[in-house]
Structure 1
Amino acid sequence: MKIQWFEQEVNSSAVTIYDNNVTLSKQASNYLSDAYGIQVGFDVENQTLILKKVTKDDVNKQYVNPNQLYTLTIKQSFGRINSKKLILELQKYVNLDFTHQKSYKYNARYNNGQKMLIVDIKEAINNA
Structure 2
Amino acid sequence: MSADHECCGVPLERYQLSRADHRRQQEAVGVAAWVAEQVAKAPRMSDEQLETVMELLREPGPPVEEMTWRVRLYCGHIREVTSPRSWLRPYQGVSGQEPCVDRGLDPATIVAFEPLASDSGPGKLA
- TM-score, length basis structure 1: 0.27
Q: Which has more strand, going by share of residues?
A: 1
Q: Which has more helix, going by share of residues?
A: 2
- TM-score, length basis structure 2: 0.27
